[in-house]
Structure 1
Amino acid sequence: MNERISNEKLRGKIMTADEAAALIPNGAQIGFGGFTGSGYPKELPQALANRIKAAHERGEEFTVNAFTGASTAPELDGALAGVDGMHYRMPYQSDPTLRKKINDGTTLYTDIHLSHSAQLVAEGFMGKLDFAVVEAVRITEDGNIVPTSSVGNNKTYLDMAEKIIIEVNSWQSPDLEGMHDIWNGYLTPPNRPIIPINNVGDRIGDTFLTIDSDKVVAVIETTDRDRNSPFKPIDDDSRAIAGYLLDFYANEVKHGRLPKNLLPLQSGVGNIPNAVLDGLLHSDLENLTSYTEVIQDGMVDLIDAGKLAVASATAFSLSPDYAHNMNENAKNYRKSIVLRPQEISNHPEVIRRLGVLSCNGMIEADIYGNVNSTHVMGTRMMNGIGGSGDFTRNAYISAFVSPSTAKDGAISAIVPMVSHVDHTEHDVMVIITEQGIADLRGLAPRLRAQKIIDNCVHPDFRAQLQEYFDHSLVTSKAKHTPHDLRHSYDWHLNFIENGTMKLSHYR
């Protein structure tokens, strides 16, 4: 580890995870590194969970407030939630154990736009940050930190925390050094300058995180792998959705609204985005760029094929094979990949300037184009809004995608009125399911409704939704956005009561 911990002063802080966990008191506010299962601390959270569990067994109160970049992994979110160790959590999560604790009321959770979360901490709104716990490729001779496979909110947490704990992970490739771009000019208003990014690949900062080494109280040596889950095979629905989106982009190029190499691409994580990337791989498009949150398998394929010139993100979200490839070949990918703090990767100013094309998933959309991306049946938190709002509101063209049904056909993804609104009709330009595409740009509400019903709804629900819309046109006194408020949530209520959104009759 000598070459990984090059600062002599911080080599003197090396200790076990259990020893470091003993430094954290009940009620501590902790900023953890990590984003989408990449670059998160792995040993300290589990040691802290063991300590919390032992305290609870003695009848003692012990919880912490946990801030992260986005989702982490079972070794962090799952471990702490599993022992009822999280009193509060923000800004995004995807762990099933933590999700259960949020929905049963054990853990308080704030779902925050990812571009906003660091600012809330930096301005002191979230209170004093006691600890920053981050993962590093190495500690430099000057005592600075080279990040690993994500940056997330690390910079802000390191700046604001009273104490710092560093996990130096030798599994992470030393060749990641040089891939990161850490800008130190991001300030709170009124001192905030323009972010000087005019092209996706612009580098504006350092390749390391600058820290106050006097704040470091522990250094932990680890060899633990990131949680890299394999992606599901691309199914027919995902290919169909990807095909509609790529055809849409081609039509925009044909009409001169997009350049031949498109504009910078952003996509959420999952099966459909990977299908889109696979479609781009087999297209005749070249010299593509991506300004997004995460680097996925499909982007690596595009780089390898010479089709993706540069990708800017804040983290990797790779399958195990692709993570191994990145570790083995990080030096070769440094020229094509930039990893930035998420307050820069997700910043509205840069997204709007570059003209990003956004594509994100959803739980449901309604007939007027409002989108719910967070709450199942309006009350049960799934994961969170993540960066979808950052990109949707500021994109050159914003798209939402989803299969038209869920739960083996019991749920329709297109409903009369969404049970929770994350993205309003004003921000949603395109909706796509495997049934088709609805380009909503410039359409008045009644025209949007009919286009969504005709193009995006599954046949099993199309007549039912048409009946709702037709009835609303008759019964609603206001004709601009007609709804029958007595029956707007019949579909959701019927699912809760009977396990299906299919109605036996229109109420």
Structure 2
Amino acid sequence: MTQHSRIQCPKLLDKVMSAEQAAALIPEGATVGMSGFTGSGAPKEVPQALAARIEHSVAQGHPFRINLWTGASTGPEIDGALAKANGIQMRLPYQSDPIGRQRINEGAMDYMDVHLSHVAQYAWFGFFGKLDVAVIEVAGILPDGSLIPSTSVGNNKTWLDLADLVILEVNERQPIGLAGMHDVYYGTQLPPNRVPIQITHTQDRIGEQYLRCDPNKVIAVVQTNKPDRNSPFKPVDDKARRIAGHLIEFFQHEVKRGRLPANLLPLQSGVGNIANAVMGALTDGPFENLTAFTEVMQDGMLGMLRSGKLKNVSCTGFSLSPEGEREFVDNLDFYRDKIVIRPQEISNHPELIRRLGVIAMNAMIEADIYGNVNSTHVYGSAIMNGIGGSGDFARNAYLAIFMANASAKGGELSCIVPAVSHVDHTEHDVHILVTDEGLADLRGLSPKQRAKVIIANCAAPEFKDELQDYYDRALHHSYGKHTPMLPGEALSWHERAMRTGSMHAKHKETV
């Protein structure tokens, strides 16, 4: 392989430079759109060089910051490095880096949490302001300047179109065999000129295999050879297996009742241990010829594709363990016609989610006894990661399912509470709650009926009596009887946990 074999556009060969030289071209105070979705396809070297430049500038008494837009979370090379340098003024739309989280929660970084399907359209509407620079990882550059996307597409199409300047990282670690796996749709229009998106099956292709890029906007090309952020998954524990078991039993019941077809409907799954447990249970379960229309493909879906239980996956990026990455790369020819990678404005598009009838399965921090879900904030004010795509899917899914362990911190914290401290998904958008204790089907139920089912089926045993006691008293002393609530007490569980580390009452509360 020659030195520049992945850079086939002659006009861009003289733009090849080091990451440090490229980072020096990013203006102070710029708004920068970077590639990356859950760590896949993110630039690896330019952000770190930019962070080093900011740190040096701070040491010289001249601090500066940038505004950072991405597809979703990235990795330590971007969020970690820039947050450590205190180099981010505004961050959107999602993050999961511990240093970035600390900066946000201590008030040192502004953060706008955005539904992932909204990001590209809001950028086009001009809601976020001007995009100065795009820094995009690609697997290769074709002779006409078109780009072979990396392991995610995310918002890359939009960043390349809107940015005044473009910096490309050509990562030779990414397999060139990714070429052809992407479906980049350029047919979206601004209102009032929008037209329907013509996808009726998960594997429909309506776009192009490559990203368009005006070579005249490219100011730097940086060659890299580094892996994605591939974090190992924790072993699936008994609680996650129980959650998965409850869901499999529920799906079987729905098929028997005729509310789901025998091969279910397209699956969407969030990231994490529980999500992988569900995928593992489906691999061993009774359902065949499954499909997925999701944001992120994890190891569990690779396993389902290998087993033949899953026919195909539509996503916008990968979130694989190191073992999962090796499996994918080593068997790329097997996966090629089974995976399609799209922009996130398509993978998360409400029109498509509703048309396809997606079964959405996402994690939560907590739910209250009426079915409201908090998936982003601890004690109402400290951001964990962000809403991501869970809202895109929950509001529009055929089935909106939220999952969590019934308790945490050794049984001191309850996932089921009288009132959530922050609402991301209202009771109107939540169909099913699942914990390791059981499953609550909330469809067709009034608030009081939901409370009974949630306490009975989903609450941890050590909290059931306290939840029932709160509900009984609220039923009698609430201002209204439709959704019984004691406002002065509803958030006392969170206040108590902040103060003592436990939600358990030391004595029965009085009205």
TM-score w.r.t. the length of structure 1 is 0.99
Q: 2: distance between equivalents of 1:401 and 1:145? A: 38
SS of the equivalent of 1:137 reads: strand
Q: Residues 359-396 of structure 1, C-alpha deviation per residue, up to 9 Å, x if partnerless? A: 10000000000000000000000000000000000000
Alignment partner, residue 457 of structure 2: 455
Does 2:319 match 1:317?
Answer: yes
Which amino acid in 2 is paired with 1:112?
V
The answer to whether the 8 Å contact 1:26/1:61 transfers is no
- Out of 351, 354, 361, the position equivalent to 2:353 is 351
Shift, 1:193, TM fit: 1.2
Q: Which residue of the partner structure matches residue 141 of structure 2?
A: 139
In structure 2, C-alpha distance between the alignment counterparts of 1:487 and 1:373, rounded to whole Å:
22
Task: Find the aligned partners of 2:281 and 2:500 in 1 and give their Cα distance.
Answer: 39
- Equivalent position to 1:466, from 465, 468, 474: 468
1:158-206: CA deviation from partner (whole Å, max 9, x where unpaired):
0000000000000000001110000110122112111110000001111
The alignment status of 1:421 with 2:420, answered yes or no, reads no
Structure 2 counterparts to residues 170-189 of structure 1, below 5 A: 170-189=172-191
The one-letter amino acid of 1:180's match is H
Distance, in Å, in 2 between the alignment partners of 1:103 and 1:274 is 29
- 1:287 corresponds in structure 2 to 289
Once the two structures are superposed, what CA deviation does each residue of 1:280-307 show, in whole Å capped at 9, x if it has no partner?
1111211100000011101111111111
Matches within 5 A, 1:3-82: 3-82=5-84
**Alignment-derived partner of residue 412 in structure 2:** 410
Letter of the structure 2 residue corresponding to residue 205 of structure 1: G
Q: Give yes or no for contact 2:93–2:114 (8 Å, CA) kept in 1.
A: yes
Q: Distance in 1 between matches of 2:66 and 2:92?
A: 12
Structure 1 residue 329, shift from structure 2 partner: 2.3
- Residue 71 of structure 1 and its aligned partner are, at CA, apart by 0.3
1:236 corresponding residue in structure 2: 238
User: For the residues of structure 2 that align with 1:254 and 1:343, how far apart are their CA atoms?
Assistant: 35
1:270 Cα deviation (Å)?
0.5
Residue 197 (structure 2) aligned to one of 195, 198, 206: 195
Partners of 2:393 and 2:241 in 1: CA distance: 23
Q: Comparing 74-83 with 124-133, which one deviates more in the overlay?
A: 124-133
Instruction: Pick the aligned partner of 1:163 from 145, 162, 165.
Output: 165
Q: Distance in 1 between matches of 2:31 and 2:396?
A: 32
Structure 1 residue runs of 4+, over 6 Å off? none
Which amino acid in structure 1 is aligned with residue 351 of structure 2? E
Q: CA contact under 8 A between 1:400 and 1:431: conserved in structure 2?
A: yes
* 1:506, distance to aligned residue in structure 2 (A): 2.3
In 2, the alpha carbon distance for the partners of 1:364 and 1:44 equals 38
Query: Does the 8 A contact of 1:234 with 1:271 survive in 2?
Result: yes
> Following the alignment from structure 2 to structure 1, what is the Cα–Cα distance between the partners of residues 149 and 507?
58
**Which residue number corresponds to residue 256 of structure 2?**
254
Q: Distance in 1 between matches of 2:195 and 2:334?
A: 33
Instruction: Measure, in 1, the Cα distance between the counterparts of 2:215 and 2:221.
Output: 11
1:327 alignment counterpart? 329
Counterparts of residues 258-407 of structure 1 (less than 5 Å): 258-407=260-409
CA distance in 2 between partners of 1:477 and 1:62 (Å): 52
Residues of 2 paired with 1:370 and 1:285: CA distance?
30
Runs of 5+ in structure 2 lacking a partner?
none
C-alpha distance in 2, partners of 1:3/1:204?
A: 29
Task: Describe the superposition over 1:36-66 as per-residue Cα deviations: whole angstroms up to 9, x where unpaired.
Answer: 0100001000000000000101111310000
Which of 105, 108, 122 aligns to 2:107? It is: 105
Q: Is the 8 A contact 1:313 1:345 kept in 2?
A: yes
Does structure 2 retain, via aligned residues, the 8 Å contact 1:495–1:501? yes
User: Alpha-carbon deviation of 1:2?
Assistant: 3.0
User: Which whole-Å CA distance do the structure 2 matches of 1:278 and 1:219 have between them?
Assistant: 41
Deviation at 1:485, TM superposition (A): 1.0
Distance 1:332 1:142 in 2: 29
Give the Cα separation in 2 of the matches to 1:421 and 1:8.
52
CA distance in 2, matches of 1:330, 1:215: 32
Aligned partners of 1:331, 1:341: CA distance in 2, in Å? 22
One-letter code aligned to 2:331: N
Identity %, equivalent residues: 55
Stretch of structure 1 that moved more, 420-429 or 323-332: 323-332
Gaps of 5+ in 1: none
Moved more, 323-332 or 492-501: 323-332
SS in 2 for 1:250: helix
Moved more, 321-330 or 124-133: 321-330
Count how many residue pairs are aligned between Structure 1 and Structure 2. 507
CA distance in 1, matches of 2:194, 2:38: 28
CA root-mean-square deviation: 0.7
CA contact (8 A) 2:276 2:299 kept: yes
Alpha carbons 2:479, 2:485 under 8 Å: kept: no
Rounded to whole Å, the distance in 2 between the matches of 1:308 and 1:355 is 17
Residue among 105, 119, 122 paired with 2:121:
119
CA contact (8 A) 2:167 2:219 kept: yes
> How many Å apart are 1:11 and its aligned residue?
1.1
Letter in 1 for 2:149: P
TM-score (ref. length: structure 2): 0.98
SS of the equivalent of 2:331 reads helix
SS class of match (1:426): helix
Secondary structure at 2:427's aligned position in 1? coil
Instruction: Decide which of 477, 480, 486 is 1:478's aligned counterpart.
Output: 480
CA distance in 2, matches of 1:289, 1:278: 15
CA contact (8 A) 1:173 1:328 kept: no
Contact kept? 1:292, 1:346, Cα under 8 Å: yes
- C-alpha distance after superposition, 1:109-144 (max 9, x if no partner): 000000001111112221110000000000001101
d(CA) in 2 for partners of 1:126, 1:447: 42
- How far apart, CA to CA, are the structure 1 residues paired with 2:330 and 2:78? 26
Kept in 2: contact 1:14–1:221 (CA 8 A): yes
- Taking the aligned partners of 1:497 and 1:93, their CA distance within structure 2 comes to 28
